[in-house]
């Protein structure tokens, strides 16, 4: 089974999951960011760099045949832009600049007719536009001929050493045997301390961030797990911030817990800081928190690598989902849990005007 992911944004590391011994390998990849495509080429297509297509999905969707000519596919894994659905933002939903881009995924499903697909987005997707955006997206994908299983995955429960919550929608084509169910977690929680232990000196992307003496001094006053707003800082080191205070600002990791969310943007505050050394993590350390393998090399400037890292889905988390899909096709039983959004799955013919009440019920239960 050949798998590929697409997205008009960066996604190295996931859902870019590859296991040739299982029959899962990448047929091609697309992104509009040149450095991200270089990361794809270096890690997945070193001998056939043309299979990493650098183009805006709005242009590429005018001729998906370009991709079909590169390599046929059996599965499609993609993430549509989260900018307008994230809780860190205005949450314009499908009315924003990026929100409507899910329609290009819908078009791809109709064009390629893969046996199954995996779509990924932020947890805020379920709340955008009072839940109506999520309902519209599910309806669009379902109308392509795929029964859906949407679920809010907490990847730290699947052995990923960081908090990463993502809505994943899995669909198996309706003319095929196999029913996907959300796999139960059997992994013990992994801590940040465990994840960052023993990084080899030869691993790439280990450049240190240059930090001012004021930042170093501030970090020395912040204990593991604390941030710039709940630590006991002297007045000259406190942040002069009006309005919302982001809890990740200068937050130091707790080595005995999973890390907090790895972000791909922002100033010095949300860089993620080591619990023992007064410094920001290197990109290789961030990659460890993302469960990227040591030989996965990010091809970009340091800040663009950080962006790629923050946009990624942890491969180890995606692995559990891919395994469950393959077991569903093979008729192999596995432990499952009810999907978060069972109410939407159970009501395929809901009326759009009922969307708000349905999603309010689900979100109150989260």
Q: 3-class SS at 11?
A: coil
* Structure confidence by residue, pLDDT tens digits, 84-115: 444 444 455 455 555 567 888 999 999 999 99
Residue 353: predicted pLDDT: 44
Homologous superfamily in CATH for domain 2-185+314-365: Vaccinia Virus protein VP39 (3.40.50.150)
Beta bridge partner(s), residue 31: 54
Residue 358: predicted pLDDT: 52
Residue 326: predicted pLDDT: 92
For residue 15, is the peptide bond before it cis, meaning its omega torsion is within 30 degrees of 0?
Answer: yes
Residue 7: predicted pLDDT: 35
Other residues' Cβ atoms within 10 Å of the Cβ of residue 202: 8
Q: Where are the domains of the chain?
A: 2-185+314-365
Beta bridge partner(s), residue 24: 19
The residues that are catalytic are 82
Which regions in the chain score pLDDT beneath 50? Answer: 1-11, 13-14, 84-90, 93, 346-348, 350-353, 355, 363, 365-366
Of 162, 81, 182, 172, the C-alpha closest to 125 is 81
Counted residue by residue, the chain has a size of 366
Q: 3-class SS at 110?
A: helix
Report the distance separating Cα 322 and Cα 120, nearest Å.
13
Element (H, E) at 107: helix 102-112
Beta bridge partner(s), residue 220: none
Residue 346: predicted pLDDT: 47
Contacts of 2 (CB under 8 A, 6+ apart): 23, 24, 25, 26, 27, 71, 72, 73, 74, 75
pTM: 0.85
């Amino acid at each position: 089974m050949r798998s590929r992911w697409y997205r008009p944004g960066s996604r190295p590391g996931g859902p870019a999951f590859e296991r040739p011994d299982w029959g899962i390998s990448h047929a091609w990849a697309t992104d509009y960011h040149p450095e991200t495509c270089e990361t794809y080429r270096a890690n997945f297509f070193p001998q056939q760099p043309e299979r990493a297509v650098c183009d805006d999905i709005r242009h590429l969707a005018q001729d998906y045949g370009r991709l079909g000519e590169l390599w046929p596919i059996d599965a499609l894994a993609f993430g549509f832009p989260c900018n307008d659905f994230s809780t860190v933002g205005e949450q314009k939903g499908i009315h924003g600049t990026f929100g409507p881009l899910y329609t290009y995924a819908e078009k791809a499903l109709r064009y390629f007719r893969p046996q199954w697909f995996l779509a990924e987005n932020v947890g805020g997707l379920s709340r955008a536009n009072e839940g109506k955006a999520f309902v519209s997206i599910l309806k669009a994908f379902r109308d392509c001929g795929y029964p859906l299983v949407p679920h809010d995955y907490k990847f730290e429960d699947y052995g990923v050493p960081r908090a990463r919550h993502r809505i994943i929608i899995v669909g198996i084509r309706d003319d095929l045997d196999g029913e996907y169910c959300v796999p139960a977690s059997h992994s013990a929680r992994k801590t940040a301390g465990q994840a960052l232990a023993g990084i080899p000196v030869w691993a790439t992307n280990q450049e240190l961030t240059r930090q001012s003496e004021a930042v170093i001094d501030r970090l020395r006053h912040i204990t593991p797990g604390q941030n710039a707003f709940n630590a006991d800082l002297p007045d000259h080191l406190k942040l002069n911030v009006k309005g919302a205070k982001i809890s990740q600002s200068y937050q130091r990791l707790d080595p005995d817990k999973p890390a907090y969310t790895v972000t791909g943007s922002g100033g010095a505050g949300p860089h993620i800081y080591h619990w023992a050394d007064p410094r920001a993590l290197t990109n290789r350390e961030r990659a460890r928190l993302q469960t990227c393998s040591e030989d996965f090399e990010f091809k970009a400037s340091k800040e663009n690598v950080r962006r790629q890292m923050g946009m990624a889905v942890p491969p180890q988390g995606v692995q559990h989902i891919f395994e469950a899909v393959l077991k569903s096709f093979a008729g192999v039983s596995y432990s499952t849990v009810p999907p978060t959004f069972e109410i939407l799955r159970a009501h395929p013919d809901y009326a759009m005007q009922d969307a708000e009440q349905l999603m309010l019920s689900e979100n109150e239960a989260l």
